[in-house]
Amino acid sequence: MTTQTIPAPAWKVLEAYTKAMQQNMGNCVEAVYIYGSIALNAFVEHASDIDFITVVNRPLCHEDIALLAHIHHEIARSCPNPVMMGSYLQWIDLGKTQNQLNPYPYYYENEMHGAGHCDINPVTWWILKQSGLAVIGPDVKDLQLQVNLDVLLGYVHHNMNTYWAGWIERLETGKSQLINDLQITDADIDQRIEWTVLGMLRQYYTLKEKSIISKLGAGEYGLTELPEQWHPLIREAMHIRLRNPERYYESRQQRINDGIELLKWIRSHCNELVS
């Protein structure tokens, strides 16, 4: 069981989770692996989730799903932070792409889902292979995960021109409302700035450096690689993630305009990297 590299707030949750799983589903659970910010050594308290994959030795039935819902509910009640998010897979599923996987149980936004798809993609497998942590079960290096770099880069490039392009379009379309609607708070704007700026910088890093980095690591990378005109917004996104109240913009309009232009800059340069 790995404990040395898991931050104390996350370990408290995982300890409760593994204990409950072993007590209630011990004949079914074979491994629990951690990926995401914890595996990247970039956990930020009150900002990072616990991203997990639990390996089970058989398909889960309705009774299993109900029991998992109860386990997660009790853990969220007693240890509300950090939040867990993860999937329940079998050994044969590890390393598969989303379109190769049948629907599987997953836990997301404090709700247990009996079947669907959630956060299993080439980025998941790359982080797990390179940095993943075994809480229960065989060491990650013993899994012999096959992760193809070209598949990873293709996924990230496609994601840039679908998911993130959608974000840019929605921000441009809703710009006037974001600027003028007083019911949209500065905290709402903060959330959008953090998610889009650091999220898209992670894509930029992957396409340029052919590896994966944390959100804050991507911000630091952006400060070294992007023109200085974007540095205030990048620093602001990093401050939001770190719960640092310091901001660099007094004008909401300028902040939103610059945010949209920065995202368009990142997307354009990402596409140049693969052209």
- Does residue 138 contact residue 31 with C-beta atoms inside 8 Å? yes
pLDDT in tens, 65-77: 999 999 999 999 9
Angstrom distance (rounded) from CA 168 to CA 166 = 5
Angstrom distance (rounded) from CA 95 to CA 49 = 21
Mean pLDDT of all residues belonging to the chain: 95
Residue 215: CA count within 13 A, CB half-sphere: 23
CATH number of 8-142: 3.30.460
Residue 3 phi, psi (nearest 5) = -130, -25
DSSP 194: I
Residue 132 phi, psi (nearest 5) = -60, 155
Structure-token pair, residue 2? 């790995």
Angstrom distance (rounded) from CA 110 to CA 153 = 31
User: Which residue, among 76, 88, 43, has the nearest Cα to 216 in the 3D structure?
Assistant: 43
Percent of the chain with pLDDT over 90: 94
What predicted TM-score, i.e. pTM, was given to this entire model?
A: 0.93
Residue 37, C-beta contacts closer than 8 angstroms, at least 6 positions apart: 43, 44, 48, 49, 51, 214, 215
Angstrom distance (rounded) from CA 272 to CA 275 = 5
Q: Which of the pair, 99 or 166, is modelled with greater confidence?
A: 166
At residue 2, does pLDDT exceed 60? no
- The CB density around residue 118, as the number of other CB atoms within 10 Å, is 19
At residue 1, does pLDDT exceed 70? no
